[in-house]
Amino acid sequence: MANLGYVGLGAMGGNMADLLMAKGHRVTGYNRTAAKAGWLVKKGMSLGASPKAVVQAADVVFVMVTNSAADEAVFNGAEGLLAGVTPGKIIIDMSTVSPAVSRTLAEAVRAKGADMVDAPVSGSIITLQQGKLSVMVGGTKATFDTIKPILDDLGPKVTHVGENGLALVMKIATNLSLAVQMLAFSEGVLLAEKSGIKRETAVDVLMHSVIASPMVVYRGPFVLKMPSEAWFNVNMMQKDMLLALELGRQVDVPLPTTAVTNEFLTTARAMGLVEEDFATVFKVLANMAGVKP
């Protein structure tokens, strides 16, 4: 049993904290809106008053927040993580943020005699619940070896990809494909539908074809009925697409399908679909095709 902390108890972070407790670990958590963590407190989680309080109470602290600005906010300030970091602590930042921002934060953690890795995940709440989550880790090999038994409790695939920031690069490289695949899947469904095939039939065939990636299997049914609550909304996906486009410019890699798909996400925002799952690019394309979504 490890003495863990978890900062950022949204849908994904909260479910991870829940799983870690189910595996027998002690967890002290913090969420900006404390009431949203009430269900975890009922299950035995201790609630910290601040990120600083969490890192003071734990040996290893997970962080999962929405973007680079939120990441910097929980690390910095009088009540931030850095204010409570002492030698020997380990921070596992699972947030999908700019690799440069992550590296800067890791340097600040190391300056205090502690260590930090970036450890974004590939998967969703469903993937986590099914025990299929994949974790990528960027940081020193020694720290990776220390925390791997804990990460193994979150999913069966835990990979050390290199130095700090590189796990984030891998996550960004993964996520750009999710949106691109969803747009391509939508094109196929609509081409079939406008040619006279029922949408349900087209979805079923594609989901059992050679293109049936895990993303298509999970999100393919969303073109028939969107979930009541987004797994990963338009804003969150577009944040990752913009990180990919910026990284592409930095390392001189053209990302044409990423750029086009990003415009569909912008259109989804303009249509008032920002809170829907990013699979709503289907609705954008359907409207362009003159088909009722």
63: left (phi over 0), alpha (psi -120 to 50) or beta: beta
42 is catalytic: no
**268-272, Cβ contacts within 8 angstroms, sequence gap of 24 or more:** 268/234, 269/234, 269/235, 269/238
What is the full DSSP assignment across the chain? --EEEEE--SHHHHHHHHHHHHTT-EEEEE-SSGGGGHHHHHTT-EE-SSHHHHHHH-SEEEE--SSHHHHHHHHSSTTSHHHH--TT-EEEE-----HHHHHHHHHHHHTTT-EEEE--EES-HHHHHTT--EEEEES-HHHHHHHHHHHTTT-SEEEEEESTTHHHHHHHHHHHHHHHHHHHHHHHHHHHHHTT--HHHHHHHHHTSTT--HHHHHHGGGGTS--SS-SSBHHHHHHHHHHHHHHHHHHT---HHHHHHHHHHHHHHHTT-TTSBGGGHHHHHHHHHT---
Q: Indicate which residue of 171, 194, 225, 283 is catalytic.
A: 171
Q: Which among 73, 122, 116 is positioned nearest to 96, based on CA atoms?
A: 122
List the catalytic residues: 171
